[in-house]
Amino acid sequence: MKIFDNHAHLDDEKFNIDRETIIKEISNEVEYLISAGYSLEGSKLATKLANKYDFIYATCGISPNDIPQTEEELWIMISEIKELAHENNKIVAIGEIGLDYYWNKENKELQKKAFIKQIELANELNLPIVIHTREAVMDTIEILKQNPVKNKGVFHCCPLNRELIKEALKMEFYISFAGPITFKNSKNADEIIEMVQNDRILIETDSPYLSPEPLRGKRNDPRNVKYIAQKIAKVKKMSVEEIAEITNKNARTIYNIKV
């Protein structure tokens, strides 16, 4: 089964003790994965891993939870992200970027500036974006409408919010589902999955976080992306192999990965 985990954080410190071992084990079960940067240092490590392993690709960006305290520091970081991404064909998107009003309520305006600036960077580099949004749905949608993304992108670990899904699909973005759709308390997961047409759906682990059922509470890794595929297959009344094939093709399309 050729399966594609389109968002994992192999750069995360939770993999420091056994990163290389895990990557070797992953390669037996996952055809491709995206190691997603969310800070400057994390983006550098994600890029290093992508350059080392053929089946790994990377994104780089400054997430809303990792932006510095001042604009001056932020612009320096984004300029370094630009330098990192320039002419490196293993970097396939700018991200994760976006807004997070759950963890950070005091710097909303700086978050917005960082989001817009990195959209501009993605357009300059002819790349899609990977979006993180939490408790900031309306501002996220408004920024995307006012700052069109040339190569579109992905709502990663997309919140199960009907309005967000509807607007994202209108703007031709992809919707990526993670562990929360398998949780017993995700009451509207089935309805949301059904809203997303097959040519716009992606799967991810967001590992080492958000382990799916039946592994909640344990460290997540990209091999567990199969549980996300199983949940979607059940809702859409398709085989797991079909969902793996569809989401693999979709990921290669949005990230422009030629095989």
Sign of the dihedral through C-alpha 243, 248, 253, 258? negative
216-257, pLDDT tens digit by residue? 999 999 999 999 999 999 999 999 999 999 999 999 999 999
* Dist. CA 141–CA 27, nearest whole Å: 36
Whether the Cβ atoms of residue 112 and residue 144 lie closer than 8 Å to each other: no
> Cβ–Cβ contacts within 10 Å for residue 213, how many?
15
Nearest to 133 by CA among 165, 170, 97, 104: 97
Task: Report the pLDDT value the prediction gives residue 187, as an integer from 0 to 100.
Answer: 84
Q: How confident is the model at residue 4 (pLDDT cuts 50, 70, 90)?
A: very high
Which strand (E) or helix (H) includes residue 117? helix 108-125
If you average pLDDT over residues 44-56, what whole number do you get?
97
The answer to whether 116 touches 137, Cβ cutoff 8 Å, is no
Which residue's structure tokens are 């410190």? Answer: 13
Mean residue pLDDT of the chain comes to 96
Taking residues 181-194, report their average pLDDT: 94
Of 25, 118, 23, 109, give the one whose Cα is nearest residue 70.
Answer: 109
Question: What integer pLDDT is reported at residue 87 of this predicted model?
Answer: 80
pLDDT, tens digit, 9 for 90 and up, residues 122-132? 999 999 999 99
pLDDT score at 164 = 97
**Partners of 177 in the β-ladder:** 203
Rounded to a whole number of angstroms, the distance between the first and last alpha carbons of the chain is 16
pLDDT at 2: 86
* Reported pTM: 0.97
Least confident of 120-129, 136-145, 182-191: 182-191
Residue 1 binned pLDDT confidence (cut-offs 50, 70, 90): confident
Structure confidence at residue 68 as a pLDDT band (50, 70, 90):
very high
What pLDDT, on a 0 to 100 scale, did the predictor assign at position 230? Answer: 98
181: phi > 0 → left, psi -120 to 50 → alpha, else beta; which? alpha
Range list of β-strands (E), the chain? 4-8, 32-36, 56-60, 91-100, 129-134, 153-155, 174-177, 201-203
Contact 33, 57 (CB under 8 A): yes
In whole angstroms, what is the distance from residue 61 CA to residue 118 CA? 7
State the DSSP H helix or E strand holding residue 163, giving kind and residue range, or none if neither.
helix 162-170
Residue 259 is predicted with a pLDDT of 74
